[in-house]
Amino acid sequence: MTDMKKLHLGCGPKHIPGFFHVDILDYPNIDKKALVTDLSFIDDGQVELIYAAHLLEHFGRDEFRDVLAEWFRVLAPGGVLRLAVPDFGAVAKLYVAGEIEGGLQTFMGLVMGGQRDEYDYHKVIFDETFLTEALMATGFSEVRRWDWRTTEHADLDDYSQAYLPHMDKENGTLVSLNLEAVK
């Protein structure tokens, strides 16, 4: 079986070489078709890195903490949970300033999800303080920001690189909150 030291959860059609890919939807690149809320096929403390980009917000505000606990369970001591979620603070600031191209329609997509299938709905919003507190309450020892440019998956164009105006990575505002938590 493929090495599961690095997990890419909720990967969709995105593939990162060297990662074990898990998604509930059937894509050719996945290694395991499964709900990311149940990683019972992985023993406790076996994973060095979990990458989940714009996935955690798809769980309810009373549910996402259990998801974090499951991911924490499979991480080895010193393991890293690398998260990217929509940054509600950044998005709201741009919306109030009238700086979101597409206005409310774009704002709804960022806050409520694309709604393209039964899993593509956002059920909770995050800012840095709220998510950091949730990660620390889960048992993580440290939480820090991470820069997509410095990761081994920097060439993967995913929502961790979401900017407004769209794709303006030089002058735009990053609307993805990218945090890493260390077990």
| pLDDT value, residue 24 | 95
Residue 134 structural domain: 6-86+121-160+176-182
- Tally of structural domains, the chain: 1
The phi and psi torsions of 132 (rounded to 5 degrees) equal -60, -45
Across 75-88, average pLDDT: 98
Predicted local distance difference test score (pLDDT) of residue 101: 85
Instruction: Tell me whether residue 105 is in a domain.
Output: no
**84: how many CB neighbours lie within 10 A of its CB?**
25
In a domain, 111, yes or no: no
Q: pLDDT tens for residues 97-135? A: 999 888 888 889 889 999 999 999 999 999 999 999 999
Evaluate whether residue 29 is within a structural domain: yes
Domain assignment present for residue 131? The answer is: yes
Whether residue 171 is contained in a domain is answered as: no
pLDDT for the residue 2: 58
Say what the pLDDT of residue 3 is: 83
Quote the pTM value.
0.95
> Which range, of 65-74, 78-87, 109-118, averages the lowest pLDDT?
109-118
Q: What tens digit of pLDDT does each residue of 3-52 get?
A: 899 999 999 999 999 999 999 999 999 999 999 999 999 999 999 999 99
> For residues 25 and 119, what is the distance between their CA atoms, to the nearest angstrom?
9
107 belongs to a structural domain: no
pLDDT tens column, 143-161? 999 999 999 999 999 999 9
CATH code: domain of residue 73: 3.40.50.150
What is the reported pLDDT for 1? 43
Residue 135 and residue 143 in contact, taking contact as beta carbons nearer than 8 Å: yes
Are the CB atoms for 24 and 55 separated by under 8 Å?
no
Q: Is residue 140 part of a domain?
A: yes
Mind giving me the DSSP string for the chain? ----SEEEET-TT---TTPEEEESS--TT-SEE--TT--TTS-TT-EEEEEEES-GGGS-TTTHHHHHHHHHHHEEEEEEEEEEEEBHHHHHHHHHTT--TTHHHHHHHHHH---SSTT------B-HHHHHHHHHHHT-SEEEE--GGGSTTTTS-SGGG-EETTT-TTTSEE-EEEEEEE-
Instruction: Give domain status of residue 43, yes or no.
Output: yes
- What are the tokens at 90? 């950044």
Local structure of 75: helix, strand or coil: strand
Residue with tokens 């996945």: 30
